[in-house]
Chain A
Amino acid sequence: MQEFVQHLINGISLGSIYALIALGYTMVYGILQLINFAHSEVYMVGAFAAYYTARVLGLDAKPGVLTFITVLVAAMAVCSILGVTIERLAYRPLRKAPKLNSLITAIGVSLLLQYSGQIIFGADPKVFPNILEDASLASFGDVNLRLFDVTILIVGIIFMIALHYLIHYTKTGKAMRAVSNNQVVASLMGINGDKVIAMTFVIGSSLAGVGAVLVGMKYPKIDPLMGMLIGLKAFTAAVLGGIGNLGGAVLGGVLMGVCEEFVVGYLSSTYRDAVAFAILIVILLFRPSGLLGRSQVEKV
């Protein structure tokens, strides 16, 4: 039982990271119907941005809340700039082209970032700086509630609430929902589609930056290929919840995280990476539109 609870805590903590990244996928998909393969590389660059910020400012010597926030903001800024640049240079010229072309371009951008990352950052893994001191907050028997897990959960929830507010209660959010529903009609209402899409990339990419810092904190080893697997899992989470649906992305992310921790805990850690895809195939077989089906899709 205690073991079960421990796995559950780990799973939810991992799941909220997946959820943050899945939100980026699902937002772009909702508005452009494009699987943004480059999203996982934006996340990777976010991790390196955090790494270099901490190293250059000498923050790795003094872990604390302030350091955490500085690094977080830096990663989010770099990620949003990168996201918008990718959209502007690679996706916007293909706005009217067949979907397949955009998809291939997305894969191309993803590979380009991976391999130029290997050249620029070096292919060997780097140790993520210690930006927050881990501590045990409370323990019940063998169950240990650690500061990192709680931080990840709290930060994740804060950003998800902020996103919810942004989408539903601001003018920008309204414009995004309108463009996602029908871009042509939205443009007749005076909404600049290109601006809204750029905004979507800013928001989605900065969430990837948040995810990158949280992952770096918990699993302190980063390398240029780190994005690929976690990106695939986050995308699977988005599909699991129903792609284009924000609530679904969060639900899918948490479910994925919990499933993965249980497989590692009770079966074998070597099959950890195969779980995601097995889940995906099963979901596609029985519920192609995801858990929160198409009928109540809230597209963004």
Chain B
Amino acid sequence: MATPAVLQFRKSFLAPILSLIAVVLAAEIIDHSFNAYIQLIFLYICINIILALSLNLVNGFTGQFSIGHAGFMAVGAYTSAFLSTHPSLFGYEIRFLPASLDFFNYPIYALAGGLTAAAAGYVVGLPSLRLKGDYLAIVTLGFGEIIRVILLNTEAVGGARGLFGISSPADITIAGIEISAFAQSFFWAATAMVLTFIFLWRLINSSHGRGFLSVREDEIAAEAMGINTTNIKVLAFVLSSFFAGIAGSVFAHSTHYLNPSTFSFQKSVDVIIMVVLGGMGSLTGSIVAAIIVSVLPELILRPLQDYTHVDLRMVIYSLLLIIFMIMRPQGIFGTTEISFANLMKSFFHGRKDVIKNS
């Protein structure tokens, strides 16, 4: 018997509603159990997960190679920060909501940041994705540098001094319940993260998603199957930039200060490490790797640096990159997704056929 339409509707909304509850709970728990330093790390984990997931769409699923992700993050961050520090622009009021509803301004800023970054992604991606080979790598690298130079030279966003005084949610009390600033920030960061994941997960498992994979596996064969490979690549690139912009916006409002040097090539490399480490073509792998890369420096590398007085972080990262490429190029998880069903399967059968998308 076919499932009634109403029930289908409810089923497809079950995961989002459950995640919303989880996000609210997590925000409250983290808010009450950790100090400000660890809270900030939690925010960074959310940001890094969004960045890694979005870059995986281009580098992992579509088989292209972008090394300028920080550039798109910068576009989103600066757009969002600029909007929040300029209540009026060219004489027009752009503060959309009254002060009491300031909380809801942040997704609007994030959306604006994401859309600007997506536009930048379209402009950069269209010419370079038509070409075969490694040109995309070098163009995205160049783009990242251009963005940085432009930001350094633009006085309206602070130039080399950076942009100060970016707003973030304030403590509010609703119906006698006090909601701290961090809980609100984390709520939006985690919501953005969950939405990114759900969006990309559903995209990859749709027929469009098969398009991405087919471009990765064999571009000529994909073209022969009637897939417009340029369109697919540009779409992947624009979506990836969009989410990078959102991550940038979240970043801007959690640090309250932006500086062009934050978005250097190093930042892009950080994200690439997450994608390579987790496995190019595994969303859940990216999440695990993003958590590792965010926590590892705080847990191990900082004490090591205090002990040896040299900054070994990038040396270790680059060694990891080389060793992984030579010994285990598919990353920790390859193209396998971690899921409850897969875990059960491998637990009971010990079989290798749990690998998806390969």
Contact = CB atoms under 8 A, between A and B. Distances in A.
Is the A/B pair a real complex? yes
Nearest to B149: A274
B135 A105 contact: no
B141 interface: yes
Contacts of B143: 277, 281
B137 to A, nearest CB: 6
A43 interface: no
A94 B326 contact: yes
Interface stretch (B24-32, B108-116, B315-323): B315-323
Given A90-B326, A284-B128, A274 B134 contact: no
B145 A112 contact: no
Nearest to B64: A100
Of the candidates A270, A277, A278, the one having the most CB atoms from chain B within 10 angstroms of its own CB is A277
Interface string B317-342: 11101100110010000000000000
Interface residues of A, number: 42
A97 interface: yes
A62 interface: no
Contacts of B135: 239, 284, 288
Interface in B295-328: 310-312, 314-315, 317-319, 321-322, 325-326
A107 interface: yes
A114 B130 CA distance: 32
A273 B134 contact: no
A270 B137 contact: no
Interface stretch (A47-55, A162-170, A181-189, A228-236): A228-236
Interface string B257-295: 000000001000100100010000000000000000000
A276 B67 CA distance: 17
Interface residues of B, number: 40
A206 to B, nearest CB: 24
A73 interface: no
B302 to A, nearest CB: 16
A100 B65 contact: yes
A104 interface: yes
Contacts of B310: 119
A97 B124 CA distance: 28
B127 to A, nearest CB: 5
A159 interface: no
Interface in A81-95: 90, 93-94
B269 A111 contact: yes
Contacts of B321: 104-105, 107-108, 111
Contact of B325 (A33, A101, A276): A101
A94 B325 contact: yes
B195 interface: no
A273 B146 CA distance: 8
Contact of A276 (B65, B127, B142): B142
Interface string A129-148: 00000000000000000000
Interface string A254-290: 0000000000000000110110111011001100100
A91 to B, nearest CB: 10
A103 interface: yes
Interface in B100-126: 124
A107 B138 contact: no
Contact of B153 (A111, A112, A119, A271): A271
A278 B146 contact: yes
B33 to A, nearest CB: 36
Nearest to A268: B153
Of the candidates A99, A108, A239, the one having the most CB atoms from chain B within 10 angstroms of its own CB is A108
Contacts of A239: 135, 138
Interface string B38-73: 000000000000000000000000010101000000
B131 interface: yes
Interface string B239-252: 00000000000000
A155 interface: no
A226 interface: no
Contact of A105 (B127, B134, B272, B322): B322
Contact of B315 (A119, A235, A276): A119
Listed from nearest, the 8 A-B pairs whose CB atoms lie closest are: A277-B142, A108-B321, A111-B318, A112-B318, A108-B322, A115-B314, A105-B325, A274-B149
Interface of B: 63, 65, 67, 124, 127-128, 130-131, 133-135, 137-139, 141-143, 145-146, 149-150, 152-153, 265, 269, 272, 276, 310-312, 314-315, 317-319, 321-322, 325-326, 329
Given A232-B141, A284-B127, 17 more contacts: A35-B134, A90-B322, A90-B326, A94-B325, A102-B325, A103-B137, A104-B272, A107-B269, A112-B315, A112-B318, A115-B311, A116-B315, A119-B310, A239-B135, A270-B153, A277-B145, A288-B131
